[in-house]
Structure 1
Amino acid sequence: MNSYYEKFLATGEVKCIDEEIPFEIPQGWEWERVGNVFFVTKLAGFEYTKFFTKEALSASNPIPIVRAQNVRMGFFEENKNEAISEMLSNQLERSALNKKCLLMTFIGAGIGDTCIFPAERKNHLAPNVAKIEPLDDSISLDYAVFALMSPCGQRGVNAIKKSTAQPSLSMETIRKLLIPIPPLKEQKCISLKLSEALPLVEKYSKVQEEQNQLNVEIQYLLKKSILQEAIQGKLVPQIAEEGTAQELLEQIKFEKQKLVKEGRIKMFALNDSIIFRGDDNKYFEKIGKTITDITDEIPFEIPATWQWVRLDDICSYIQRGKSPKYSSIKKYPVIAQKCNQWAGFCIDKAQFIDPNSLPSYAEERLLQDGDLMWNSTGLGTLGRMAIYKSALNPYELAVADSHVTVIRPLKAYVLSQYLYYYFASDTVQSVIEDKSAGSTKQKELSTTTVKNYLVPIPPYREQQRIVEKIKTVTSIMRG
């Protein structure tokens, strides 16, 4: 492409500006600095701002004030809450807006927002809005506002936004903005076509937003439905050759007895709870010689090859984390509730314990691959769960804080991912607050409650098929 140059009349200097030119323009168009075709000005922030009061609204013929919040991208919103009296207005003619012009916010959240002031009635301009007026009749305001609202017109604004936490535009920055200028007749044709097209774009944009929201809601409902089908044994068929959950529980009981003998778990971890269905179709739990009717606790029916079981009976460890002594030394991360999101486990949100406090953590408190981390405190966070994955932890190890319950299933028999899907289901999440204790603002899911949670367990191979099926279906849903 041919190079573009800019000549500075004051010095005669000529400079190549190719890197500022975003695209080629048709023959007959010109690239221009805003300051070459517009008069750009702002008002000094002098004392008249103290007269912008609500009391002035009660005065006869109050004159509205134009502030940054009244300048929206593409449209002007009249200020109905602040005004000055007509008498004061007559003393402040420098800030008066009497004719049609462009306005641009140059400070605050709406920096760069541009609109046309319609001049339907007199207003006064506050010091945080720039007034942009054409130097002659060769520029159409209707075209100019579209040009300044475009990605091209906003390039300089966006550069300022990215460079500082509290961005503001100087008048010189606004004057240096580059916009393409076609002949006046073409400007009017372009603005007319845009005026016709943009309302349709806005209309279809809203329709698309509604469609996107509907898709999100449908996906959410479908996922809930899929999880519910899965945990009730309806997502995949039962296969006789895969055995029964009863046989699996016998293996788990044997494994736990072995772990007790090896000193790897405590004797109290052995639980002789047996849940069975009576001839009257009621559910009972036998602990020692005591048999209790627990039919009211059973949320739904499960296949004959499945078994209801207390969570503690299929885990080697269930315990809250401990309150950490924090440190700025980034060596041993602490998994807090904010690390556990439904989108997954995020180590980036973790703080760190004092390395000197690590010896106070028993080995069992160090998180292991596949541990479930269940948020157990506070509304809004209560019940969220994630699976710990060491591959996502670039540090040597990790521990949990006191608001997170660590659930460590016997992973050779029970899949962490299957338990995750169960605890993410509506069966658990819809009553999580009812299961918790404490004040409204500080609900707590006690360790005892967690250990006593009823879980529907299928045979191990069926657990695998359920997890595979959920992953496949949700992957298809995501597109």
Structure 2
Amino acid sequence: MTPEQLKSSILQYAIQGKLVEQRPEEGTGEELYQQIQTNLDAISEVQTKKKNKILPIEEKDVPFDIPETWRWVRLGTIGYTNIGLTYSPKDQTMDGVIVLRSSNIQNGKMVYEDIVKVNMEIPDNKMCQIGDILICARNGSKRLVGKSAIVDKAGMSFGAFMAIFRSVCNQYIIHVINSAYFRNSLLGDTGTTTINQITQDMLKNSLIPLPPLAEQKRIVAKIEELLPLVDRYAVAYEKLEQFNTKFPEDMKKSILQYAIQGKLVEQRPEEGTGEELYWQIQTEKQRLVKEGKIKKEKPLPEIAEEEVPFDIPESWKWVRLSQLAILENGDRSSKYPVESDYVDFGIPFFGAKDMNGSAMSLENVRYISEKKFSELGNGKLKNKDFICLLRGSVGKCAAFIADEKHRTGFICAQMVIVRCIDKAICDYMQKFLMSPFYSQYIESKVTGTAVRQLPAKELGNVLVPLPPLAEQTRIVAKLEELLPLCERLK
């Protein structure tokens, strides 16, 4: 139950006579009603006898049962209501009488920061008294119509879009006005679609349950005892909501972190080691260099002990990303595609907007012709290549998955291709690139403030915990079993 629902339930219990017990010695709502009628002229200054017709209460009008000691009444029969003062900009002055408006009602309280003053003759029935209920009677937003508060200062008027109510126990009445029942009955139809409003006729004919005066005071006391507890509940509820919102993503991050630390599946000696896999990849890399398919790189420095961020199993090996993959920038020459090179269908020309989840999206991709593609140098994609952003959402990665219509593609200038030398490690690498460790490392290397950037060299220096290939397969299988469960928690 939300805090608003809890508050609504408390108010509903209150106006149904279920919040406090009834006491015979306190009299009845009927007796109170008759007393009010006797003193009506004094309460209302004869204003309730003018203009608006008060309808009789029929059995079909009664929305719910109330205690036998209570009575259903129309609001206009137990107090004084009126619509506020009309004034023009020329009446406004630095000195004069404060005119209260809807902006002065905030969270059920009167605030006096944003005030308007007028210098004009104001009738007595447009002036507030301490204890009056001020109601927003007209507003462009239906949500704000009906908001109310008790006036706690004297000597102020109220504006034309406001209504005022004055009666015997306004503290009880305002809780009725704030109840879901009252709001729904009053604002089910509030006039036009652009300006929502409460008319005097609507207000005066609103049905409210009237308990004896002593019981009204006990109801108010009980509500005022409970509402601070609701406020405390709201704080706890908000924290719980934040936790529930974050929990699926936090759980996902924890699982991925466990995976790359070797804690998600057991190690099996018969599956070999990360060291053996690493040298197999280096052998393949040397072959590609020898055949001229990739350029020879400068030897990378050894990974120092202080660089290692966490412990991994003995059968694993710490390596750098550029030892497992080729990093290739796009073609940034004068041949780089411009808008006039775009065609209806051809070779996908990927930008940051096409990074949707773990795979590149073709839904709104731009295309260039095969002729234009042939003019370009670097930046041409192969199946299972990763594309990484170097600007903006730095480090964000997605895989290019080829199909019959899209065998290749081209990357924009703010991207880099990460091409695994051994395609067999791609599935594990994709999970690694989703891990919190990878994100934190990238974040620590970002440069620039107006435009966030990541040097491709820093991407290549990312440390990767490398398990044996068979264990990688089991890790990926376990992640594909667990991660969808995290999504279902959202």
Alignment pair present for 1:267 and 2:293? yes
Amino acid at match of 2:442: I
Shift of 1:238: 1.4
Map 1:117-266 onto structure 2 (within 5 A).
Answer: 117-126=150-159, 129-133=161-165, 141-147=173-179, 152=184, 156=188, 168-171=195-198, 175=202, 181-185=208-212, 188=216, 194-213=223-242, 226-249=255-278, 252=281
Map 1:370-409 onto structure 2 (within 5 A).
Answer: 372-378=386-392, 381-385=393-397, 401-409=412-420
Amino acid at match of 1:71: I
Q: What SS does structure 2 have at the residue aligned with 1:444?
A: coil
Corresponding pairs, count = 412
Which of 113, 134, 156 matches 1:80? Answer: 113
Given the superposition, is the C-alpha separation of residues 242 and 212 from structure 1 closer, same or farther in structure 2, using an over 3 Å criterion? same
Alignment pair present for 1:303 and 2:313? yes
Q: Which residue is equivalent to 1:114?
A: 147
Q: Is the 8 Å Cα contact of residues 335 and 399 (structure 1) preserved in structure 2?
A: no
Alignment pair present for 1:336 and 2:352? yes
Map 1:26-41 onto structure 2 (within 5 A).
Answer: 26=65, 41=83
Q: Give the whole-Å Cα distance in 1 for the aligned partners of 2:87 and 2:171.
A: 30
Given the superposition, is the C-alpha separation of residues 101 and 424 from structure 1 closer, same or farther in structure 2, using an over 3 Å criterion? same
Q: Give the whole-Å Cα distance in 2 for the aligned partners of 1:158 and 1:333.
A: 53
Alignment pair present for 1:46 and 2:85? no
Q: Give the whole-Å Cα distance in 1 for the aligned partners of 2:181 and 2:106.
A: 11
Shift of 1:318: 4.5
Instruction: Map Cα deviations across residues 84-133 of structure 1 (whole Å, 9 max, x no partner).
Output: 37xx2655878643461232262369633612232432334456x53253
Q: Give the whole-Å Cα distance in 2 for the aligned partners of 1:177 and 1:326.
A: 69
Which of 121, 125, 128 matches 1:97? Answer: 128
Q: Which residue is equivalent to 2:450?
A: 441
Q: TM-score w.r.t. structure 1 length?
A: 0.62
Q: Give the whole-Å Cα distance in 2 for the aligned partners of 1:310 and 1:93.
A: 83
Q: Is the 8 Å Cα contact of residues 99 and 117 (structure 2) preserved in structure 1?
A: yes
Q: Which residue is equivalent to 1:279?
A: none
Instruction: Map Cα deviations across residues 270-319 of structure 1 (whole Å, 9 max, x no partner).
Output: x57xxxxxxxxxxxxxx5xx574441544344333223333244346654
RMSD value over aligned CA atoms?
5.7
Amino acid at match of 1:382: V
Instruction: Map Cα deviations across residues 245-264 of structure 1 (whole Å, 9 max, x no partner).
Output: 34434554576689899x9x
**What are structure 2's unaligned runs of at least 5 residues?**
1-51, 53-59
Whichever of the two has the greater Rg, that structure is: 2
Given the superposition, is the C-alpha separation of residues 71 and 195 from structure 1 closer, same or farther in structure 2, using an over 3 Å criterion? same
Over the matched positions of the two proteins, sequence identity in percent amounts to 21
Shift of 1:444: 0.8
Instruction: Map Cα deviations across residues 209-234 of structure 1 (whole Å, 9 max, x no partner).
Output: 23444566777766655544432323
Given the superposition, is the C-alpha separation of residues 453 and 120 from structure 1 closer, same or farther in structure 2, using an over 3 Å criterion? same
Q: Give the whole-Å Cα distance in 2 for the aligned partners of 1:142 and 1:112.
A: 14
Q: Give the whole-Å Cα distance in 2 for the aligned partners of 1:399 and 1:357.
A: 11
Q: Is the 8 Å Cα contact of residues 330 and 410 (structure 2) preserved in structure 1?
A: no
Given the superposition, is the C-alpha separation of residues 93 and 421 from structure 1 closer, same or farther in structure 2, using an over 3 Å criterion? farther
Map 1:321-470 onto structure 2 (within 5 A).
Answer: 325=339, 335-336=351-352, 353=366, 360-361=372-373, 372-378=386-392, 381-385=393-397, 401-409=412-420, 412-416=423-427, 418-437=428-447, 439-470=448-479
